[in-house]
Structure 1
Amino acid sequence: MTSTTGRIRMSPEGRREQLLELGTQLLSTRTLDEISIELLAEEAGISRGLLYHYFGNKQEFHVAVVRRAVEQLVAITAPRDIEDPLEQLAASVGAYLDYVVENYTGYVSLVRAAAGGNEELRAIYDEGRRALTDRIFEVTGEAGLQALGLSDSPAIRLIVDGWSAMVESVIVAWVKDPHGLSREELLNRLAHALPALVLL
């Protein structure tokens, strides 16, 4: 699917934005290693030389694409106007689940790359995870935290971090094999697991 957009004069910012968007689209169905400068150039209909003008090398390109993908995930899972904090939590987890479903191959490769010793990718991954967990404390408010059985303390934030890691692991496994759990059942169990962990 080679486009003709390479023949359209664009500003440097606009071109880089276009390439990042294309990179994140490719990441939805490919691993990071499969997304090369050559592939992106072919898909965008531009020369490799022009791509190297925007991204110095493959690693720089991968870092930029992963950062954009994480930004999209954080935006997609943003809280909605839901009064009940447990329902809000389930809705955010549901948006996260939908993102993983739609971007499974790329997301799993991102997680593996972050765990595989790449410090830049690990830092971006950690920033995204931190944004998702901090949101529970920053957006929910004191009354909402109390409704969830939470308080804002280092110990509780540690538990929330662990819950977040569990949610990721369970969702990635569920997408591959639902194990007899419906989407609704899965989200309900994951949302209720957080207050249950805290109240143990």
Structure 2
Amino acid sequence: MSPEARSDELISAALELFATRSPGDVTVDDVTARAGVSRPLFYRYFRGVGELRLTALRRVVDGLLTRLAEVGGDSPRQRLCAAVTVFADVAEEHRAGYVALLRHGSAVATSDTGAIIDEVRRRAVDLILTETEVADPSPMLLTTLRCWTAVVEEAMLNRLREGDVPKAVLGEWLVDQLVAMAEATARHDPGRATTSGFRRLERKD
């Protein structure tokens, strides 16, 4: 097996474990047992489970960003709703790891993992600005969009813990919240026409 394939095998084993257990609870022995390799072989590719955790998160985020770039739909609203569904799918696929990484004060959250997660948040803001055709967002509007990404994250966490919001309505519900937040911002940010592009996201029925 090539070094690249062996490394991928260890990352895949880690992701399988992170789907059901907090990354902070996964040890080198857990990963090697799942992958069917020895500890010395593990350390040939990674300095420790922390490095493996970061590499696995990078793999997940790269996949998420690729899927976000591929979302389809006939309207900006449909595409943003589809993007929310992609987030929900990824959160479900990596349930325990997702909860651990976003939970306040999590032992597995570091400056490195935070930087990777912030990349996703920035991509979400860029996606909204593209779909609403807002080229020059005001500082208040940017703050609003960043707050909305926090709403999405908390909604995903709560859905994983409580299961109280069906995936079928998740996107519509959250995009409606985004429109309402943009309208509220416009009332306090006069002269910036912050709502004009967000009318593209309003429900048509």
Structure 1 and Structure 2 fold alike (TM over 0.5): yes
Q: Partners of 2:2 and 2:104 in 1: how far apart? A: 32
Question: What are the Cα deviations for residues 11-59 of structure 1, in whole angstroms up to 9, with x where unaligned?
Answer: 2122112221222222111111122111111111111011101001222
Q: Which residue of 1 aligns with 2:56?
A: 65
Match of 1:129 among 114, 121, 128: 121
User: Which of these residues, 138, 158, 162, is aligned with residue 143 of structure 2?
Assistant: 158
- TM-score normalised by L of structure 1: 0.80
1:34-183 → structure 2 map (5 Å cutoff): 34-112=25-103, 118-137=110-129, 140=130, 144-146=131-133, 150=134, 152-153=136-137, 154-179=139-164, 181-183=165-167
Query: In structure 1, what is the Cα distance between the partners aligned to 2:17 and 2:60?
Result: 11
Q: Percent identity?
A: 29
Alpha-carbon distance change, 113 to 23 in structure 1, aligned in 2, over 3 angstroms: farther
CA contact (8 A) 2:18 2:97 kept: yes
| Residues 45-101 of structure 1, C-alpha deviations (whole Å, 9 max, x = no match) | 111011101001222122112222222222333342312101110111011112212
Structure 1 equivalent of residue 179 of structure 2: 195
C-alpha contact 1:41 1:51 (8 A) present in aligned 2: yes
d(CA) in 2 for partners of 1:61, 1:112: 20
Return the alpha-carbon distance in structure 2 between the equivalents of residues 124 and 186 of structure 1.
Answer: 24
Which range moved further: 30-39 or 110-119?
A: 110-119
**Corresponding letter in the other structure for 2:153:** E
What letter matches 2:26 in structure 1?
I
With over 3 angstroms needed to count, the CA separation of the structure-2 counterparts of 1:102 and 1:60, relative to structure 1, is closer
Asked if the contact 1:114–1:122 (Cα under 8 Å) also holds between the matched residues in 2, the reply is no
Listed as ranges, the gaps of 5+ residues in structure 1 are: 1-9
Deviation beyond 6 Å, 4+ runs, structure 1: none
Distance 1:183 1:190 in 2: 11
Tell me how far 1:168 sits from its aligned partner.
0.8
Aligned length, in residue pairs: 182
Please report the TM-score for the alignment, with normalisation by the length of structure 2: 0.79
SS of 2:69's partner is coil
Gaps of 5+ in 2: 185-205
Q: Please report the RMSD computed on the Cα atoms of aligned residues, expressed in angstroms.
A: 2.2
CA deviation profile, 1:159-191 (whole Å, cap 9, x unmatched): 111101101101211232244x43333321101
Partner of 1:27: 18
8 A Cα contact 1:74 1:128, kept in partner: yes
User: How far 1:136 sits from its partner (Å)?
Assistant: 2.7
